[in-house]
Amino acid sequence: MGVVIAEHVRKIYRAGETEVEALRGVSFEIAAASFVSFVGPSGSGKTTLLNLIGCLDTPSAGRLTVCGTDVSTLGRSAGAGFRGQEIGFIFQDFNLLPVLTVYENVEYPLLMVRKTPEAQRRERVLRLLDAVGMLEQKDKYPDQISGGQKQRVAVARALVTEPKLVLADEPTANLDHATAALVIALMKRMRDQFRTTFVFSTHDPRIVGEAEIIHTLEDGELTGSTSQGGANG
């Protein structure tokens, strides 16, 4: 069964008199361990879709099933709990906590959501910081590192819980070429090792090139889906 199953999902934002239909009934299925990218112009609904899959918001209509749970109707706190257990989210603007160090930011989900024991926590945090090349910066605060470095920390934080599903909203938008390649390679390795499912939104041809399945969104509608090279289902 698909890790994500969307059936006629719609999202309408209302602000006073104005209504924006950000998703106009999209249906698709994402298989376990796949590397999937949603592409499309700005305003086409990519962030909206990832936010729905990540339980940051709920659909206005339709049904959305994530890791076997119908998330269409989960309330705020149930959604947050579900996200903490199943999903790693890499936000476009990083969302690092400014009062915590790099190390503490990556440790946070293990501490707050998973309640992982200290020794195991430390081992995992250091391993992930090493993997994204941020070990030497571990005691710095977010405002002492660059945008690209923040993004690498955000990636480490999303992966540290070894979630089943990782959602990444334009994850390489602020990365230089070498770092983007490193981050993509790290994600692929994780997919191969843990069968993690990765779902991106991106404009970045480097990620589009790495994706096995590409869904195109235009004005809230899914207008095309293609598979490319080496897809392993």
Return residues touching ligand ADP (CB under 6 A): 13, 15, 20, 22, 40, 42-48
Nearer to Mg ion, 161 or 202 (CB): 202
Q: Which window, 40-48, 96-104, 130-138, 190-198, contacts Mg ion (CB under 5 A)?
A: 40-48
d(C-alpha 170, C-alpha 139), whole Å: 26
d(C-alpha 193, C-alpha 29), whole Å: 22
The site partner of 48 among Mg ion, ligand ADP, none (C-beta below 5 to 8 Å per kind) is ligand ADP
Residue 187 burial class via C-beta count within 10 angstroms: exposed 0-12, middle 13-18, buried 19 and up: buried
**Are 79 and 71 within 8 A, CB to CB?**
yes
**Are 51 and 220 within 8 A, CB to CB?**
no
The site partner of 45 among Mg ion, ligand ADP, none (C-beta below 5 to 8 Å per kind) is ligand ADP
Cβ 45 to ligand ADP, closest distance in Å?
5
Nearer to ligand ADP, 107 or 169 (CB): 169
Cβ 131 to Mg ion, closest distance in Å?
26
The site partner of 13 among Mg ion, ligand ADP, none (C-beta below 5 to 8 Å per kind) is ligand ADP
**Are 140 and 171 within 8 A, CB to CB?**
no
Three-class SS state of 80: helix
Cβ 21 to ligand ADP, closest distance in Å?
8
d(C-alpha 97, C-alpha 76), whole Å: 21
CA 142, 128, 205, 199 torsion-angle sign = negative
The site partner of 193 among Mg ion, ligand ADP, none (C-beta below 5 to 8 Å per kind) is none
Nearer to ligand ADP, 13 or 194 (CB): 13
Using CB under 5 A, which of 34, 44, 47, 197 touches Mg ion? 47
- The β-bridge partners of 7 are 63
**Pairing label, strands 69-70, 61-66:** antiparallel
Per CB under 5 A, contacts with Mg ion among 75-94 are: none
Give residues in contact with Mg ion (CB under 5 A). Answer: 46-47
